[in-house]
């Protein structure tokens, strides 16, 4: 939504339907989005922005948020997950200020959902980024960083207790540009044929399993599922960012996620994965690549001819 040339929410929902896209993640339930989704059958991840979390430490505020954004729409909009915050981390200067507010907000939103009787229908979670991990290669050695354990372990225990998945943003693109000497482009794009010494043929699976292994070590078992709440590749603006590479990544990611191959650590089932993002965002701040993650152009034409 960080663009001044994007279609209206009603047009976006029509575009989803026309392309047989059945799931959506929206980062802020602004007033136009949820009404546009009424009756659409699109399953939704509804984010609560980081800036809102402190206020949700008040149970009454959490009740108000759930009433306004969930209860008012639950009969006509398929809200599947509520993501309380995105990429909050004690080791990320951009989001560390929200760390004290995340678990209380999660707890209060969950209590509100339970009071509403929607706890089986709507799962409350949060989305992490892989900067919380240490020793990620080989993936089996991965663990959460010691300086994040006090933050992440209670969250994973909360998710386990409520039978909710952890949402994780997985970006082989950033793994590749962060260490191009050791991370080959084919490994990041799913085009490498031979496995690396750890048995993996692609970085996506290695990154995803790194999170699974870290969960295992944090709570001594691994029955918390992971939903890949973002993954994408930019088409312009930096190293490795091209229409050709992005098309290869998205097509291969979709084929892989839909197959029942799974990962080495979690084989035999599809991987619920959300592509980032629907549109290029010309107002997005940060690196120039941030403006070029769209699968669609703002004029609603496809960039890569993907089949959903």
- Residue with token string 């097509």: 251
* Cβ atoms within 10 Å of 106's Cβ, excluding its own: 27
| Catalytic (active-site) positions | 87, 230
- Residue with token string 């969930």: 70
Q: In terms of DSSP bridges, do strands 133-134 and 143-144 run parallel, antiparallel, or are they unpaired?
A: antiparallel
| 4 Cβ contact list (under 8 Å, min separation 6) | 282, 283
| 247 Cβ contact list (under 8 Å, min separation 6) | 303, 304, 305
- Residue with token string 């870290």: 214
C-alpha to C-alpha distance for 131 and 58, rounded to whole angstroms: 29
C-alpha to C-alpha distance for 3 and 280, rounded to whole angstroms: 8
Which two tokens mark 42?
């699109």
CB-CB contact of 218 with 149 (8 Å)? yes
CB-CB contact of 136 with 195 (8 Å)? no
Q: In Å, how far from its chain's centre is CA 250?
A: 15
Taking CB atoms within 8 Å and a gap of at least 24, the contacts of 180-188 are: 180/239, 180/240, 185/240, 185/245, 188/240, 188/249
Backbone conformation region of residue 135, classed left if phi is above 0, alpha if psi is from -120 to 50, else beta: left
């Amino acid at each position: 939504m960080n663009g001044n040339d994007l279609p209206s929410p009603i047009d976006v929902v029509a575009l989803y339907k026309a392309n047989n896209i059945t799931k959506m993640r929206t980062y802020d339930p602004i007033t136009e989005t949820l009404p546009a989704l009424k009756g659409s059958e699109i399953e939704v991840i509804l984010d609560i922005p980081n800036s809102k979390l402190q206020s949700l430490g008040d149970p009454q505020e959490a009740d108000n948020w759930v009433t306004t954004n969930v209860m008012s729409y639950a009969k006509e909009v398929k809200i599947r997950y509520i993501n309380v915050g995105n990429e909050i981390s004690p080791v990320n200067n951009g989001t560390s200020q929200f760390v004290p507010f995340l678990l209380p907000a999660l707890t209060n939103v969950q209590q509100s959902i339970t009071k509403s009787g929607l706890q089986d229908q709507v799962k409350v979670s949060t989305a992490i980024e892989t900067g919380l991990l240490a020793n990620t290669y080989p993936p089996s050695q991965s663990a959460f960083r010691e300086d994040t354990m006090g933050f992440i372990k209670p969250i994973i225990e909360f998710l386990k207790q409520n039978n909710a998945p952890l949402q994780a943003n997985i970006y082989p693109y950033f793994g590749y540009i962060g260490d191009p000497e050791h991370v080959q482009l084919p490994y990041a794009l799913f085009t490498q044929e031979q496995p690396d010494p750890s048995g993996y043929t692609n970085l996506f699976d290695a990154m995803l399993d790194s999170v699974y292994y870290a969960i295992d070590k944090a709570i001594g078992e691994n029955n918390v599922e992971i939903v890949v709440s973002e993954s994408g590749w930019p088409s312009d603006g930096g190293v490795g960012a091209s229409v050709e590479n992005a098309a290869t990544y998205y097509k291969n990611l979709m084929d892989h996620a839909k197959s029942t191959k799974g990962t080495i650590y979690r084989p035999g089932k599809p991987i619920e994965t959300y592509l980032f993002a629907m549109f290029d965002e010309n107002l997005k701040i940060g690196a120039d690549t941030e403006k070029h993650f769209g699968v669609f152009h703002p004029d609603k034409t496809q960039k890569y001819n993907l089949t959903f």
